[in-house]
Structure 1
Amino acid sequence: MPVQVAPPIANAIAAELNPNIPGLLPPEPMGNQFENEDALRSDLHGLAIRIPGTESEVRLYGFAKVSSYYDLSGRNQTDAPPPQFIPLNNSAADQQGGELAVTARFSRIGVDTRSLTNWGTLETRIEGDFAGGAPTSTNAVFRLRQAWAELGTESFRVLAGQANSVWNEGIYETIVDATNLNQSFTRQAQVRATGRLAPGLTGMVSLEAPETQFTSVAGVFNPGTNFTGGASPAFNTAPDMVGRLTYGNDGLVADVRGLVRRLSVRTAGTAASPPNVSMNATGWGVAGHVRMPMRWIWEGFGADEVIGMAYYGEGIGRYFAGNTTGQDALSNIGLPGVVGGSLDPLPTYGVAVSYRRFWAPQLRSNVAYAYSRQDYPSYALNFVPGSPSALGLNRDMQQFFANLIWSPFGQIRNGVFGSGFMDVGLEYILTRRDLFGGSAAAGPVGAGLGITNRIVGVVVGRF
């Protein structure tokens, strides 16, 4: 009897990567294969195949990335510099001057699977990179980025595991590996529900892993901090609750998101006791952004787009890791004359704007500006000048980006850009932070600022 033979795996992969090649059909929707049809063709992008004899498919993805940077001002020995910690003017790092570095530690690898079930599609992801070690070391250490499973349909699905926070928003395209000013790239354990509420409108809610962070005269604390050899007074008592609404239509994307948190401090059993103090505070935040295709104004703009974002919150410090890590709240515990103490969520707000210009389908630039401000309680003036607690208090921060990125395999289809297998980019970054009064290492109240200039070069090869 003649035997039905599926096309070779190589053809299936080629069909996915090049769906318009004459003679090769585009991938069929998952679940449409019959016994005598293309059992190996996957609807996942990239290096993916359907497992013969099953209703499952698997994909391998990732990239190899080499990054180089040179600081034109103070020495800042990290390839992922948080704006809140750039060197201060006239500091030792500033006096040393700039330095060149090259690294490949942000190269990434991941595995996706999809399986059809009676309850919809079950998708899983395991992803990591090699950025777990010190930025100055060539001995890259593998770290887990994402590990989750999601079950459901386009109408409703539920995710459990470590994934990008529902709060996350990268906003604009940069090539540096840092969490930049007003960007959020938090990844943490969560349970999330996603539903399609109307055509183009998606809603998401999640319960996410908490992490109370606060700053006092004694330092910066989270629940895992070793405080003089003992436990930390920062405490977790309830998950963070996050929600988001996103609307998309013909390239336009608009969203609004919010979160509510519980911040807690327990000094019993720590070096901060006596007295035993138990304090709780509520953190909350709202944010929104709009991504608008410029072709809506004039077709001659092509795939260009303009982006705007704004946020306000109290006690949301760790969700802006480049701005306010360790500053969900401030506390006056340990200051002279303070009995009991207080836990004060930090008010913070900011804006960001960006323009993305396509000079050609394979060549583009991004220009962006971001501003943030933090309003500290007056008792923070009594933090010891020059101490880590004081030097981390930035009243205002600003950042400017400009880059040029070449994607030799990039394509624009129906106004949507895909970068393809490779990026080569060059970027200039200007960052400034102005310290809260009395926080400078030396000088009068209100003194202290840092300004850095950095040039970054990147080559990325994807698979």
Structure 2
Amino acid sequence: MTPLAASCGGWGARAGLALLLAGLAGISAGRAQGDDALTNAELRRQLEVLQRRLDRLEARDRRNAAPPRQAPARAAVPASRPVAPLGAPPGAPLGAQAEAEAAAREARAAAAEARAARREAEAAQAKVTAVTAPVPGLAPPDPVGRQDFMGEGGDALRSDLPGIAFRVPGVDSQVRLYGFAKVTGWQDFGGRNQSDAPAPSLIPLRGSAADRQGGDFGMSGRFSRIGVDTRSLTGWGTLETRLEGDFGGGSALENNAVFRLRQAWAEIGPEQLKVLAGFTNSLWNEGLFETIIDATNLNQSFVRQVQLRVTGRLAPGLTGQASLEAPDTNFVSADGVVAPTARLQGGASPAFNHMPDILGRLTYRDAGWELGLRGLLRGLQVRTAGTNAGVASQTVDATGWGLAGHVRMPMRILSPWFGPDEFVLGGYYGEGIGRYFFGSSGGIDAASNLGLPGAQAGVSLNPIPTWGVTAAYRRFWAPQWRSNFSWSWSRQDFPAYARLYVPGSAAATALNRELLQAFANLIWSPFAEAGADGRVNTGWLDIGLEYLFTRRDLYGGSEATGPGQAGHGTASRLLFGAVARF
């Protein structure tokens, strides 16, 4: 190849490389706005590779452009002979000399274009950084799911993934989109229970019509979820907002899923003290173990309601919280279960809310340990004025209260052989807290003698004593394979007049004296990875198989159900589920 061809070819390649570098810079800026086919890290790597190649080409061209060695002096050229341009090879034809000058001009133009491409690349890199870099001083978002299954963050197969996040250009704000697509299927082996989220408190009783029909098969995807989380810097600290929903608002028996609101709140403040207002998970919520089913399981609480909440960091690892939350008084009488929004005998409801529920929580976490303590105080009230209760107008008040606690222990403290395994033990006791344990009580807080002859002498409202215990073990067979085993038991006590409820009525069959539930599952997470801290990041995909057994026994046994039915019910269900998170 001639020197001229090499020069033209080198500058042509460099010009093409410069154009490619400029194009890649434009792609980098475009990708940063949302197309995630190439990650920002990959774009930066490619920019660096191209920049190094461009630098090598420019260095070679500088060497080629060095002045040639002077040839020995020659005799003077006659004036009539054309003079060759400066820098042309001795004896070169005039056409070649002109081409050399043209190549030199092209090289200078290519060099200018390369410098412009470099400036464009640097501008694109700055734009990528502006869109993806964290905002200095902006607190990280609260997790949308936890590996330790604290609170409702521990519902079925969730994991703490960052979601799809970006920084809003020009402002100190970040936005994150998160969620998952989930499909579950089930086969019942006991009574027919046509729900993808069966509560233990409502399983069919032995001898009932549903029990005689036998179990059936079903599938559902309505608990798939989507949420948006934003964070912005303010003079009062980080402002975080969250809007989240799923498609579980309709009937479990219909394929037309109905979108429903799960969370809508704003929280502001530094890490030391935050204030939250909105619709979100109750401070009482506690998901102690991992399940595939989406139901409110025995002794677990998944209540979401409007509240005002304060969260403070009391000490390293120790968090304190207090909240005022929306109340909802529910009681059972001879006429059935009564709530503030339910009518009594065609008239207004006597169930009243007259004060917010007051809750408090202490949580300590360190090196895999977790200790939790919760407290609750409630005001329950019945007003018979203006109702069809058939008794004199009167107001009756009662107090509900509860305490609960749990401990989560990392099994590696006993032996490294256990790896990331965990053991959890939790328990509670309270009176009038049934709405926070729907799996046990069906939401009933108290019992009343309304509808019974004794109510003429005075209406009673008796908060129902309830207590329970749960033990669970989480076993990792490998980072990609894990199982959860759990056993839960609960009991409720009722006043003696509850035996006068009509056998077989909604009131009598709502009184669950004792309940028991057991879980066992196997979950495969093909993209799971073990961390250096001993924990496992389960990744974005879970596929699982689960078995659960439930039994409930009524207060009064068979006397509460009437002829042909037993005073208890059992249910066996086999489930499979798959969830993909984003």
TM-score scaled by length of structure 1 = 0.92
Name 1:408's counterpart in structure 2: 526
Matched, 1:342 2:433: no
Tell me which protein shows more strand as a share of its residues: 1
Quick one: distance in 2 between partners of 1:202 and 1:241? 17
**Among residues 26, 40, 50, which one is paired with 2:131 in the alignment?**
40
- 1:175 match: secondary structure: coil
Name 1:263's counterpart in structure 2: 380
Cα deviation for residue 416 of structure 1 reads 2.4
Quick one: distance in 2 between partners of 1:250 and 1:9? 42
Amino acid paired to 1:38: T
Name 1:358's counterpart in structure 2: 476
- 1:318 match: secondary structure: helix
Name 2:554's counterpart in structure 1: 435
Name 2:348's counterpart in structure 1: 231
Quick one: distance in 1 between partners of 2:512 and 2:249? 27
Name 1:30's counterpart in structure 2: none
- 2:398 match: secondary structure: strand
Matched, 1:325 2:447: no
Matched, 1:213 2:333: no
Q: Is the 8 A contact 2:28 2:128 kept in 1?
A: no
Name 1:71's counterpart in structure 2: 188
Name 2:421's counterpart in structure 1: 304
Quick one: distance in 1 between partners of 2:476 and 2:447? 44
Quick one: distance in 1 between partners of 2:362 and 2:551? 33
Quick one: distance in 2 between partners of 1:385 and 1:251? 50
Q: How does 1:30-429 map to 2 (within 5 A)?
A: 38-41=129-132, 42=134, 45-338=162-455, 339-413=457-531, 414-429=533-548
Amino acid paired to 1:423: D
Cα deviation for residue 443 of structure 1 reads 4.8
Amino acid paired to 1:288: G
Alpha-carbon deviations, 1:286-336, whole Å to 9, x = none?
A: 000111110111111111000000000000000011111331000011212
- 2:130 match: secondary structure: coil
Cα deviation for residue 415 of structure 1 reads 2.2
Cα deviation for residue 410 of structure 1 reads 1.6
Q: 1:92 to 1:447 in 2, by over 3 A?
A: closer
Q: Is the 8 A contact 2:545 2:574 kept in 1?
A: yes
- 1:39 match: secondary structure: helix
Amino acid paired to 2:395: S
Q: 1:437 to 1:447 in 2, by over 3 A?
A: farther
Q: 1:300 to 1:335 in 2, by over 3 A?
A: same
- 1:194 match: secondary structure: strand
Q: 1:155 to 1:171 in 2, by over 3 A?
A: same
Identity of aligned residues (%): 57
Quick one: distance in 1 between partners of 2:30 and 2:41? 17
Cα deviation for residue 22 of structure 1 reads 12
Quick one: distance in 1 between partners of 2:415 and 2:186? 37
Cα deviation for residue 8 of structure 1 reads 4.4
Quick one: distance in 2 between partners of 1:104 and 1:385? 38
TM-score scaled by length of structure 2 = 0.74
Quick one: distance in 1 between partners of 2:358 and 2:567? 36
- 2:286 match: secondary structure: coil
Amino acid paired to 2:450: I
Q: Is the 8 A contact 1:172 1:368 kept in 2?
A: yes
Cα deviation for residue 91 of structure 1 reads 1.0
Name 2:581's counterpart in structure 1: 462
Quick one: distance in 2 between partners of 1:163 and 1:195? 18
Larger of the two Rg values belongs to structure? 2
Quick one: distance in 1 between partners of 2:275 and 2:163? 25
The runs of at least 4 aligned residues of structure 1 exceeding 6 Å deviation read: 3-6, 11-15, 17-24
Name 1:32's counterpart in structure 2: none
Instruction: Report the more deviating stretch, 413-422 or 279-288.
Output: 413-422
Amino acid paired to 2:492: Q
- 2:435 match: secondary structure: helix
Q: Is the 8 A contact 1:210 1:239 kept in 2?
A: yes
Quick one: distance in 1 between partners of 2:35 and 2:315? 35
| Structure 2: 5+ residue stretches without partners | 1-21, 46-125, 135-139, 142-161
- 2:211 match: secondary structure: helix
Q: Is the 8 A contact 1:6 1:39 kept in 2?
A: no
RMSD: 2.5
Q: 1:39 to 1:222 in 2, by over 3 A?
A: same
Q: 1:22 to 1:311 in 2, by over 3 A?
A: farther
Count of aligned pairs: 450
Q: Is the 8 A contact 1:331 1:344 kept in 2?
A: yes
- 1:265 match: secondary structure: strand
Cα deviation for residue 11 of structure 1 reads 6.5
Quick one: distance in 2 between partners of 1:198 and 1:20? 37
Amino acid paired to 2:509: L
| Structure 1: 5+ residue stretches without partners | 25-34
Amino acid paired to 1:252: W
Cα deviation for residue 38 of structure 1 reads 1.6
Q: Is the 8 A contact 1:6 1:40 kept in 2?
A: no
Amino acid paired to 2:503: P
Q: Is the 8 A contact 1:227 1:271 kept in 2?
A: yes
Alpha-carbon deviations, 1:70-123, whole Å to 9, x = none?
A: 001110111100101101111111110010001111111110000011111000
